[in-house]
Structure 1
Amino acid sequence: MASTPIEHPTTTQTLPSKQHPIPFSIAPNGTRTQLSSILPPLIFGTATFNHQYNTDPFALDTTGLTTSALTHGIRAFDTSPYYGPSEQLLGTALSTPFVRETFPRESYLLLTKVGRIASSTFDYSAPWVRQSISNSLSRLQTSYLDLVYCHDVEFVSPAEVLTAVRELRRIRDEEGTIRYVGISGYPLDVLCEVAELVHRETGEPLDAVQSYANFTLQNQRLAGEKGIQRLKAAGVDVVPNASPLGMGLLRRQGVPVGSLGDFHPAGRELRARVRQASDFCDRHGEKLEVIAIRWALESWISTGALCGSHGDPASGVPWMRESNDDVGGAKLGVSVIGVSKPEELEKTMLVWRSILDGLEGGEDTAVRAGRWYRAWEWSRNRRVAVQILAEGVQEILGEWFDYAWESPGEGFVNDKRTQSITTPAATIIEKVNKDGAENPWLTPAASPAATPVEGDEVVEKSLPLR
């Protein structure tokens, strides 16, 4: 069996130095730097710092992962209060003396969310939005948040989303602890409808709409006129594509199972087709997740450019800075990746580096940086090979290609609606924690064993999940 081609790292490396701030300003008339001029095209997602994806997120080297991501050029981190201890772990990682000294707060962006409290508990009220922002600032140990999304908007009414967006913008304008406001979720029709509603009712479009699992080898709906084109028409500035592996569906080992059990909504038939696709990739010396990651990142750079960004890309090389001009100067589609292990991050960044090498000007950039003079040629050839296998995977998926599962599922009831309208969301969280069934996260002392086991076999996780 042929071996998987190797992505080529650099042959040069510089020493660490204090990183420059990302430019941001607000004009006297209230106009602020456009998000699409500064948001990096590669964002580190920390949904993996959670019990959904890992048995014990406290056992992960989250500090090492975050620091390594920064040294490889990543300058944006996406998190959420719903991601268990993610905000807490990320805040701790960004507060080490080395990071504080070398990567000042102004040199990277922090993205988080409001509204989703637990799997079946949502609160988009103005009081809870304010409380949630206060909590996130404390957990992340920061004085401001760069971008705040309303989390999973399909689970509440459009009117509730509008209330939350207005409160976030009030905080932005009056308190200054928020810089940009957006929404996130899964069903594209809901995301588009809400984006259009916000623009129509407030006269101001959303800064960002984050879609997940809608631009992958399995589902590419985000690319069409009912996806990014409709969002662009609603005035949305940036559309980040998250979860290129479809929440871990597109992996040789199947969906990840953390301490919260099998949470993935994909049915048995779709999972069986993905397994067949994985076997197909194996027969050609590749891993499904490697093909899925490379295809999604490389394709979205151009497909997502319609609502992309001029922000500086992560070079993928330790301590090597790279500007948007170095890779052609055009807008690049924005992607969100998540990892759990150092080797996953290293592999992802090598793939990202190779993708950048294949862009306009990549040939000259590689030579100037001291990398292999044929890196551009290798990247272009690799793109062709990945595209061939991607088309093979889509043939195997058949009728399951472009399939989207229901969100929310049938019979969903927001637990918050069963509470008195005067019940503070904090009280609901306390009740959920005491009940145990939907505990957002376990304390380190209560965490289960760090390594998932099925029978006598240790189950390894592989490459980015979300």
Structure 2
Amino acid sequence: MQTRPLGRTGIDLSILGFGASSIGQEFRQVDMGEALRAVHVALDGGMNYIDTAAYYGRGMSEIMLGRMLPEIPRDRYFLSTKLGRYAPQHFDFSAKRVAESIDVSLERMRIDHIDMVFCHDIEFVDTKQIYEETLPALRREVEKGKVRFIGVSGYPMQIFKEAIAKADVDVLLTYNHYTLQNDMALQLVPLCEEKGIGLINAAPFSARLLTNAPLPQWHNATPEVRKVAAAAAAHCESKGSDIAKLALQYSVANESFASCVTGSANPDRVSQWLQWLDEPMDETLVAEVLEILKPIHNWIYTVGLPENEDPINEGGANEGIAKS
């Protein structure tokens, strides 16, 4: 599989990365054997990047990885995890918890170092602590050899722009912001290039919005957003294609992002993604789908503290449906 450089880290990531939230039963009960096989299919298919978090499955994702990673040569994969969020409403970005969380993650996954560690969903807290306490504490873990590179992850674009301007970060991980429906993450590209920061995209399907699967109960999409996305999916089907295939190909194709992360505990699904990447993207269909999705282009939803939210119409989002 093709790889791309991750900023100035010296790491080359596969253009598709494996998101390990699903194998931790974050979204549904899974068969453990099938879940582990999904990771093996990803690695055997050329995906050299695995992303997880202490939050996923409340530690179960890391524990599951710990059942297989010791058997895999360490130079076959790059690994990122996240800290600071440990339950839906439990956040602890203190320096003390940083050191503890790194050691717990290393023990769970049975490895001796982590390639990247992200401060997880920092829009939910006062970001001043992230810059003054959390990231400096993480940098000390780098000095100890337990971590190689550090950064932040989350949803609003504002938190990334602030981190780039105020903090010493090596990498950023953004989700739901470079898809067929939302391209706001492009705002970060020149800022990251200027400072040599590695930029990773995640969630090309926008939590199933850009698939034919039913949306989960917790999805934030408004009725209008659901209606327009369904129309785009139906158009793809009428052309003998699948909107999920187009969504994956589209997000992966942009060379400004080192990798695009998505995950599944279903090995057949992972195999399907690998097959889709070997097929050419239908540029005509892409143009047609983008036109259908125009009414919800850059629609975003409210998440985190109000001071960390993006302005309603930033990036061209349509007034009235820009947030849920």
* TM value normalised by structure 1: 0.61
CA–CA distance in 1 between the matches of 2:184 and 2:305?
Answer: 19
Structure 1 residues 278, 185: CA separation in 2 closer, same or farther (over 3 Å shift)? same
Identify the residue that residue 66 of structure 1 maps to in structure 2. Answer: 39
Classify the secondary structure of the residue corresponding to 1:239.
strand
Deviation at 1:52, TM superposition (A): 4.1
Count of residue pairs brought into register by the alignment: 300
Deviation at 1:240, TM superposition (A): 0.6
Q: Is the 8 A contact 1:36 1:238 kept in 2?
A: no
Gaps of 5+ in 2: 1-6, 309-324
SS in 2 for 1:111: strand
**Are 1:91 and 2:66 matched, yes or no?**
yes
Question: How big is the shift at 1:117?
Answer: 1.1
Amino acid at match of 1:168: L
Q: Say whether 1:272 aligns with 2:272.
A: no
Where in structure 2 are the equivalents of 1:77-116 lying within 5 Å? 77-84=50-57, 85-95=60-70, 100=71, 103-116=72-85
Q: Does 1:49 align with 2:23?
A: yes
Letter in 2 for 1:393: V
Whether the aligned pair in 2 keeps the contact of 1:62 and 1:90 (CA below 8 Å) is no
The residue correspondences of 1:21-40 to structure 2 (distance < 5 A) are 34-40=8-14
Deviation at 1:393, TM superposition (A): 1.9
Q: Which 4+ stretches in 1 moved above 4 angstroms?
A: 409-412
CA apart distance, 1:57: 3.1
Match of 1:335 among 241, 260, 263: 260
2:301 maps to a residue whose letter is: W
Secondary structure of 2:199's partner? coil
Distance 1:349 1:88 in 2: 25
Q: Counterpart in 2 of 1:231?
A: 192
Residue 42 and residue 253 in structure 1: after superposition, are their counterparts in 2 closer, same or farther (change >3 A)? Answer: closer
- Higher normalized strand content (fraction of residues): 2
Q: Once the 2 structures are TM-superposed, how far is the Cα of residue 351 of structure 1 from its aligned partner?
A: 2.2
Q: Which whole-Å CA distance do the structure 2 matches of 1:50 and 1:266 have between them?
A: 25
- What's the secondary structure of 2:285's corresponding residue? helix
Q: Does 1:396 align with 2:321?
A: no
Q: CA deviation at 1:166?
A: 0.5
What is the identity, as a one-letter code, of the residue corresponding to 2:138? L
Aligned to 2:322: none
Give yes or no for the alignment of 1:207 onto 2:140: no
Question: Where do 1:125-140 residues align within 5 Å?
Answer: 125-140=94-109
Distance 1:237 1:214 in 2: 17
Instruction: Select which of 115, 140, 159 maps to 1:170.
Output: 140
Q: Is the 8 A contact 2:82 2:119 kept in 1?
A: yes
Q: Normalising by structure 2, what TM-score?
A: 0.86
Question: For 1:81, what is the secondary structure of its paired residue?
Answer: coil
User: What secondary structure is seen at the aligned counterpart in 2 of 1:406?
Assistant: coil
The one-letter code of the counterpart of 1:337 is T
Q: Which of the pair has more CA radius of gyration?
A: 1
Match of 2:116 in 1: 147
Q: Distance in 1 between matches of 2:25 and 2:266?
A: 15
Higher RCO, 1 or 2 (CA under 8 Å, sep at least 6)?
1
Cα deviations across residues 34-78 of structure 1 (Å, max 9, x unaligned)?
42443333321112224443x203556122112222222222210
Tell me how far apart the structure 1 counterparts of residues 185 and 204 of structure 2 sit (CA, whole Å): 12
1:189 aligned partner: 158
Aligned pairs (5 A) from 1:239-250: 239-250=199-210
Secondary structure, counterpart of 2:22 in structure 1: coil
Secondary structure of the corresponding residue to residue 340 of structure 1: coil
8 A Cα contact 2:14 2:46, kept in partner: no
- 2:185 corresponds to which residue? 222
User: Cα deviations across residues 194-220 of structure 1 (Å, max 9, x unaligned)?
Assistant: 22110xxxxxx4111011110000101
CA distance, structure 2, for counterparts of residue 71 and residue 131 of structure 1: 33
Deviations 1:264-284 (A, max 9, x none): 222222112111111111111
1:362-373 superposed matches below 5 A: none
**What is the Cα-based RMSD across aligned positions, in Å?**
2.3
What CA deviation, in whole Å up to 9, does each residue of 1:283-326 have, x standing for no partner? 1111111111112112x23xx1xxx5xxxxxxxxxxxxxxxxxx
Task: Report what 1:357 is aligned to.
Answer: none
Q: Which amino acid aligns with 2:134?
A: A
Rounded Cα–Cα distance in structure 1 between residues aligned with 2:13 and 2:237: 36
Separation in structure 2 between the aligned mates of residue 399 and residue 171 of structure 1, nearest angstrom: 46
Distance 1:231 1:183, change over 3 A: same
Q: Distance in 2 between matches of 1:51 and 1:66?
A: 14
Q: Give the Cα–Cα distance (whole angstroms) in 2 for the partners of residues 137 and 184 of structure 1.
A: 20
- Aligned-residue offset at 1:155: 1.1
